[in-house]
A and B are shown apart, each in its own frame.
Chain A
C-alpha cells in the first residue's frame, strides 16, 4: 500500500495547497506532500538496491485487463527519485518565483497533479494504468503552460503542447492495446518477458511505430520538436521541472522501459537512430541562434533528448547504459540552468540575450552557478555532462552501424557537440560578460537565498558527480540500467579519464570548434535567418489547425445549415441508403418463402379507408382543422387494426391516446395559425415527394420482407411463466408490470419528465390567440354548450367506475394502469372542455404534479419492497385471499406497481393538457372581453 501511495499522495493531495491563502503555507503543504512521497520512496530503496522489485497490485477492471498495479524497478526508482528530488527543489524555487499577484495555491495544485501523474508513469506495472497517468501529465502540462492564461503565447503554447502530446498519446494507446493483444497481458512484467513473441508477431511493426509516435511527441523529437520551445511560455519553475527534467523525459523513459522487448530489430534501429540524430543536430543548431535564454535552453533540451534517443536507437547495452546516465546528468544540470535563467529574468526583468550583458559585477554567484551548468551542458571535463557525453561519443564510433555510411553518426554527433559548446559559451559570455548593460528594466542584484538554493544544490551535484562518478552516480545508474538490461548489463566503469582515444579527440574538437563557432557567430546570425523563419513548426502547426477548423466548418455548414428541413431530409436519405444497401448484391431473395394469407373484404375496405385518410391528411394539410380530422380517422383505424390482429390491449390504449392527442392538437391549433401558406418551390416539393416515396417504399418492402419470413419468438417463456410466475393471465400486462417492469418504470419516468418539461416551457409564457378565425369571423361567445356540459357531468362517475374496472381486471384481462389512466385523464379533460376551466378548476383541487409524483413514488416503492423480502428489484409476489361476497381474490404486488403507472399517466397527461388549456382560456377571456367592448362601442354609436 505504501508503494501505491507514492504516486497517489500527490494526486490526492493536489487540492490541499489551494486551501491556504498564505503563500508560505501553499509552498509548505506542497513540499510536505512531496516530502512524504519521497520518504515512502526511500523506504523502498533497500529492496530495490538489493535487486528486488517491490510490486503492489489490486484488480480494477479485470475484464479489460486493467489492474491497479505498481512496481518499483531500479529504473523506476531512479526516475521517481529525480521527480521527487527536483520536485522538492522546484517547490522551494517557485515560492520565490511566483509573484504575489498569481494564484500560488493553484500553481502548487497543478504541480502536485503533475508530480503524481509522472510518478504514476514511472511506477506503473500495468501499461493501461501507465497510459492514464501519461495522459494526465499531458493535461497537467497543459494547465501549467497556460498558467498565465491572460497571455496569448501561453494559451497558444499550451494548446500546441496538448495537441501534439495528446495526439501522440492517442497513437500510444493504440500501440499499447496492440502490445497487450500480442502478449495477452497488460502487465509489464509479462510483457518484458515476451520479446520473442512480440518480434515474431506480424503486428510488431505497427505496434512499434505507434508507441514510438507517443514517445517522440512527448520527448519533442523531430519532427514534433516545435511544441517544446513554445511551452516556454510557462512560468520558469514549470520549464525547469516539466520541460527539461521530467515530463519530456517520459518519452525516453518509455523507450528505455520497452527497450528490452522492442529494440533489436532493424526497424527500431532505422527509425529511432535517425530521428535521434536529426533532433540532436537540428536542435543544437537552432539553440545557438535563440536570443531568448529559455528558448536556448529549450532547444538544448530537445537536442539532449535527441542524444538520448539516438543512444537508445543504437541498441547496444552500453548505449542504453549511457542513456540512463545521461538522463540523470541532463536533469541535474538543465533543471539548474532553467532555474538560473529564471533568476536572471526575475532580477533583471528580461531574458533577451541581446539586452543582457555584463551581469557578472552584480550577480557573481548566479554567474558562477551558470558557468558550472553551462560547462556541464557543453561537456567540459570534470563536470557530470562530460562523462556521459564522452561515453556517448565512444558509442557512436561503434563500427558497422550503417554499413558504408557509418561515419554519419560520429560526424553528426561531433557537429552537434560543437553547436552545444557554442551555445553554452554564448549563454555565459553574452549574459555575464561583454560590455556593461545599457537598458535593463530592473537594476540587477542577487536573488533571495531561498531562490538560489535549489540551483546551488543541483550545481554542486554536477561538480561532485563529475569528480567522483563511481561513488555518487555509479550505484544508481548501475541499478537503473541493470533493471532494464538484466543479464546484459555491461560491467562498466565510469571514469573521467579513459586514455587517449577517439572519443576524447572528438570532445576536444567539439570544445575548440565550439569556441571558434561562437567567435564567428555574428556572421552566422545573418546566414541562418531563413532557418528561424521556416524551421519553427509553429506556423505550420497553426496553418494545419486553421485548415482543419476551416474544413470542419465548411462540412458543418453543408450538413448543418440551421434548417430542420435539411436535417430531416439528410436523415431520411441516410436511413434509406443504410437500410437499402445490404440488399444490393445480396443473393438472398428479398421476399421470403412464406405464402401470404388471404384478405377478407372488411379488412380490405378498412385498409383502403386508412390509405385514403392518410393521403387526405397530407393533401389537406394546409387546411389544418380538416387535416386533424383526417389524422384522427387514421388513429381510429389503427386502433381497429390492433383489434383485428388480436391485440385488444393495444386497441384500448390507442383509442384513449387518440382522444387526448386530438384534444392536444386542437388546443395547439387554437394558438397557431390556422392555415399553412404555400412556400416550398415545386422543385423542393418534388424532392420531398421523392424522398417520402423512397422512405415509404423502403418501409413497405421491409415489412413485406419481414412478414414473408418464418419467425421465432421468445414469447414462449412469457406465456408459460405469466400465470405461475407473475400471477396474471393477461400476458401483455404481466410483461409490463413484472417481466419488463423495470422498462415500464423507465417509461413512466420519461412520461413524468415530459410532463414537467412541458409545464416548465409553458410557465410564465403568454401567447395571444387570434380573436378571429381564418375567414376573419370572431369566435362565438357561448363557449360552453349546455347540452354537452349536462351530459358530461353524470358521465364522469360512470367513466371513473369503468376505469376502476379496467384497472382492476388488467392483470388477467385486457386493461391495466396505462389504459385506466388514459380513460380517467380523458374524462377529466372532458369536464374542462364542456364546462370551462373557471368552473372545473375549483372542483378538481388535486394538484397534477402531486398525482404524478405519487405515481412514480409508488412504482419505485413497490420495486424496493421486493428487496425487503429478499427478491430482486420489482419482483411480483402474489397471494389469494377469500373475501366475503367477492370470493377468491388475488392480491399481487404488481397491482401496486400498476397503480403507480396509473397515477403517473393520469398526472402527466392532465398536467400537459390543463397547462395548455389554461393558456387558451386566459386568451379566450381576453378575447371575449375585447369583443364585448367592441359590441358596446357599436351600440353606443347607434
Chain B
C-alpha cells in the first residue's frame, strides 16, 4: 500500500512540475493545482495510512486516525483554492495587459 501510494504521489508531483515548467499560463495553473493535490496528500499521509479508523471520538474505540495532519490539510485545501484562483486571475490580467498568455508576456510573433 505504501509503495502504491508513494508511486501515485511521485507521478502527481512529476506531472505537476512538468506542467509548471510550460510556457503558457494555463498549463502552469493546471500544474499548480496538481502539485497542490500532491502536497496535501503528502502532508496528510505523514500521519500514516489508516484504514477504517473512526474520525470522531466514541467510547467503544481506542484507536483513531491522526487528526492533526487532517486539520492542517483541511485549511490547506481551502487556501490552495484561493491560491489557484489568484493565479488564474493573475493569468487573465496578464493576458489582458500583455496580449499574450505566455508566462513571460512574450508576444506571439516573438520566439
A interface residues (Cβ-Cβ under 8 A, vs B): 562-565, 568-569, 572, 596-599, 603-604, 607, 610-611, 614-615, 617-618, 621, 624, 627-628, 631, 634-635, 638, 641-642, 644-650, 653-654, 657, 660-661, 664-665, 668-669, 671-673, 676-677, 679-680, 688-689, 691-693, 695-697, 699-701, 703-704, 706-708, 711, 713-715, 718-719, 722-723, 729-733, 735-736, 740, 743-744, 747, 750-751, 754-755, 757-758, 761-762, 765-767, 812-814, 818, 822, 905, 908-909, 912, 916, 919
Residues in chain A near residue B50, CB distance under 8 A:
645-646
Min Cβ gap A808→B in Å is: 15
How many angstroms from the CA of A610 to the CA of B13 in the assembled complex? 12
How many angstroms from the CA of A638 to the CA of B30 in the assembled complex? 15
How many angstroms from the CA of A715 to the CA of B77 in the assembled complex? 20
Closest 8 CB pairs of A and B: A696-B14, A700-B10, A754-B82, A731-B67, A735-B71, A692-B18, A646-B65, A699-B13
Q: A603-B4, A711-B46, A732-B70 provided; 9 other pairs, C-beta below 8 A? A: A568-B20, A611-B11, A621-B27, A697-B10, A700-B13, A713-B47, A722-B57, A735-B68, A758-B89
- Please tell me if the beta carbons of A680 and B22 are within 8 angstroms of each other in the complex: yes
- Please tell me if the beta carbons of A729 and B104 are within 8 angstroms of each other in the complex: no
How many angstroms from the CA of A367 to the CA of B13 in the assembled complex? 83
- Please tell me if the beta carbons of A715 and B67 are within 8 angstroms of each other in the complex: yes
Min Cβ gap A141→B in Å is: 44
Given contacts A732-B74, A751-B79, contact A691 B21 (CB under 8 A): yes
B13-43 interface with A by 8 A CB criterion: 13-15, 17-30, 33-34, 37-38, 40-42
How many angstroms from the CA of A621 to the CA of B83 in the assembled complex? 21
- Please tell me if the beta carbons of A618 and B10 are within 8 angstroms of each other in the complex: no
How many angstroms from the CA of A381 to the CA of B85 in the assembled complex? 83
How many angstroms from the CA of A596 to the CA of B9 in the assembled complex? 16
Residues in chain A near residue B90, CB distance under 8 A:
761
Question: Which partner residue on chain A sits nearest B57 by CB separation?
Answer: A729
- Please tell me if the beta carbons of B80 and A657 are within 8 angstroms of each other in the complex: yes
Residues in chain A near residue B93, CB distance under 8 A:
761-762, 765
A754 interface neighbour in B2, B74, B83, Cβ under 8 Å: B83
How many angstroms from the CA of A446 to the CA of B35 in the assembled complex? 80
Min Cβ gap B101→A in Å is: 6
A743 interface neighbour in B23, B26, B75, Cβ under 8 Å: B75
Residues in chain B near residue A730, CB distance under 8 A:
55-57
- Please tell me if the beta carbons of B75 and A818 are within 8 angstroms of each other in the complex: yes
Min Cβ gap A863→B in Å is: 16
- Please tell me if the beta carbons of A692 and B17 are within 8 angstroms of each other in the complex: yes
- Please tell me if the beta carbons of A615 and B86 are within 8 angstroms of each other in the complex: no
Given contacts A649-B70, A672-B92, A672-B101, contact A747 B79 (CB under 8 A): yes
Min Cβ gap A756→B in Å is: 11
Residues in chain B near residue A635, CB distance under 8 A:
33, 37
A696 interface neighbour in B10, B28, B33, B70, Cβ under 8 Å: B10
- Please tell me if the beta carbons of A688 and B18 are within 8 angstroms of each other in the complex: yes
Question: Which partner residue on chain B sits nearest A697 by CB separation?
Answer: B10
Min Cβ gap A114→B in Å is: 47
- Please tell me if the beta carbons of A607 and B6 are within 8 angstroms of each other in the complex: no
B42-62 interface with A by 8 A CB criterion: 42, 44-58
* 16 A-B residue pairs with CB within 8 Å: A565-B104, A597-B2, A611-B8, A617-B19, A628-B30, A638-B40, A646-B51, A646-B54, A696-B14, A700-B11, A703-B45, A732-B71, A750-B79, A751-B78, A767-B95, A905-B78
Given contacts A611-B11, A730-B55, contact A736 B75 (CB under 8 A): yes
- Please tell me if the beta carbons of B4 and A697 are within 8 angstroms of each other in the complex: no
Given contacts A696-B14, A708-B2, A744-B75, contact A718 B92 (CB under 8 A): no
Residues in chain A near residue B58, CB distance under 8 A:
729
Residues in chain B near residue A642, CB distance under 8 A:
44
Given contacts A657-B81, A692-B15, A732-B55, contact A703 B9 (CB under 8 A): yes
- Please tell me if the beta carbons of A699 and B42 are within 8 angstroms of each other in the complex: yes
How many angstroms from the CA of A657 to the CA of B90 in the assembled complex? 20
- Please tell me if the beta carbons of A715 and B20 are within 8 angstroms of each other in the complex: no
How many angstroms from the CA of A732 to the CA of B29 in the assembled complex? 29
Residues in chain A near residue B41, CB distance under 8 A:
638, 641
Min Cβ gap B104→A in Å is: 5
Question: Which partner residue on chain A sits nearest B3 by CB separation?
Answer: A596
B9 interface neighbour in A645, A668, A699, A733, Cβ under 8 Å: A699
Question: Which partner residue on chain B sits nearest A753 by CB separation?
Answer: B82
Min Cβ gap B82→A in Å is: 4
- Please tell me if the beta carbons of B26 and A624 are within 8 angstroms of each other in the complex: yes
Question: Which partner residue on chain B sits nearest A911 by CB separation?
Answer: B85
- Please tell me if the beta carbons of A657 and B57 are within 8 angstroms of each other in the complex: no
Question: Which partner residue on chain B sits nearest A699 by CB separation?
Answer: B13
Residues in chain B near residue A562, CB distance under 8 A:
104
Residues in chain B near residue A761, CB distance under 8 A:
89-90, 93
Question: Which partner residue on chain A sits nearest B90 by CB separation?
Answer: A761
- Please tell me if the beta carbons of A661 and B34 are within 8 angstroms of each other in the complex: no
How many angstroms from the CA of A762 to the CA of B22 in the assembled complex? 25
Question: Which partner residue on chain B sits nearest A752 by CB separation?
Answer: B82
- Please tell me if the beta carbons of A618 and B18 are within 8 angstroms of each other in the complex: yes
Min Cβ gap A161→B in Å is: 41
- Please tell me if the beta carbons of A618 and B29 are within 8 angstroms of each other in the complex: no
Min Cβ gap A152→B in Å is: 37
Residues in chain B near residue A671, CB distance under 8 A:
92, 95
Question: Which partner residue on chain A sits nearest B41 by CB separation?
Answer: A638
Interface centre among B33, B68, B78, by most chain A C-beta atoms within 10 angstroms, is: B78
Given contacts A565-B23, A650-B44, contact A719 B57 (CB under 8 A): yes
Min Cβ gap A652→B in Å is: 9
How many angstroms from the CA of A624 to the CA of B70 in the assembled complex? 32
How many angstroms from the CA of A755 to the CA of B29 in the assembled complex? 18
Interface centre among B21, B44, B46, by most chain A C-beta atoms within 10 angstroms, is: B21
Residues in chain A near residue B70, CB distance under 8 A:
647, 649-650, 732
- Please tell me if the beta carbons of B67 and A665 are within 8 angstroms of each other in the complex: no
- Please tell me if the beta carbons of A707 and B101 are within 8 angstroms of each other in the complex: no
B52 interface neighbour in A646, A676, A689, Cβ under 8 Å: A646
- Please tell me if the beta carbons of A696 and B17 are within 8 angstroms of each other in the complex: yes
Residues in chain B near residue A660, CB distance under 8 A:
81
Given contacts A669-B26, A707-B45, contact A814 B55 (CB under 8 A): yes
A665 interface neighbour in B29, B37, B48, Cβ under 8 Å: B29
- Please tell me if the beta carbons of B45 and A564 are within 8 angstroms of each other in the complex: no
Residues in chain A near residue B11, CB distance under 8 A:
610-611, 614-615, 696, 700
Question: Which partner residue on chain B sits nearest A713 by CB separation?
Answer: B66
Residues in chain B near residue A722, CB distance under 8 A:
57, 67
- Please tell me if the beta carbons of B17 and A767 are within 8 angstroms of each other in the complex: no
Min Cβ gap A733→B in Å is: 8
How many angstroms from the CA of A814 to the CA of B101 in the assembled complex? 41
Given contacts A614-B15, A617-B30, A713-B68, contact A565 B21 (CB under 8 A): yes
Question: Which partner residue on chain A sits nearest B53 by CB separation?
Answer: A646
Interface centre among B19, B65, B67, by most chain A C-beta atoms within 10 angstroms, is: B67
How many angstroms from the CA of A814 to the CA of B65 in the assembled complex? 13
A618 interface neighbour in B19, B48, B111, Cβ under 8 Å: B19
How many angstroms from the CA of A689 to the CA of B11 in the assembled complex? 12
- Please tell me if the beta carbons of B27 and A735 are within 8 angstroms of each other in the complex: no
How many angstroms from the CA of A688 to the CA of B16 in the assembled complex? 11
Residues in chain A near residue B1, CB distance under 8 A:
596-599, 603
Residues in chain B near residue A754, CB distance under 8 A:
82-83, 85-86
- Please tell me if the beta carbons of B46 and A706 are within 8 angstroms of each other in the complex: yes
How many angstroms from the CA of A634 to the CA of B1 in the assembled complex? 19
- Please tell me if the beta carbons of A649 and B78 are within 8 angstroms of each other in the complex: no
A707 interface neighbour in B30, B48, B96, Cβ under 8 Å: B48
How many angstroms from the CA of A597 to the CA of B2 in the assembled complex? 7
Min Cβ gap B110→A in Å is: 10
How many angstroms from the CA of A757 to the CA of B87 in the assembled complex? 11
How many angstroms from the CA of A919 to the CA of B64 in the assembled complex? 47
- Please tell me if the beta carbons of A664 and B84 are within 8 angstroms of each other in the complex: yes
- Please tell me if the beta carbons of B85 and A758 are within 8 angstroms of each other in the complex: yes
How many angstroms from the CA of A718 to the CA of B70 in the assembled complex? 12
How many angstroms from the CA of A695 to the CA of B4 in the assembled complex? 17
Min Cβ gap B79→A in Å is: 6
Min Cβ gap A521→B in Å is: 64
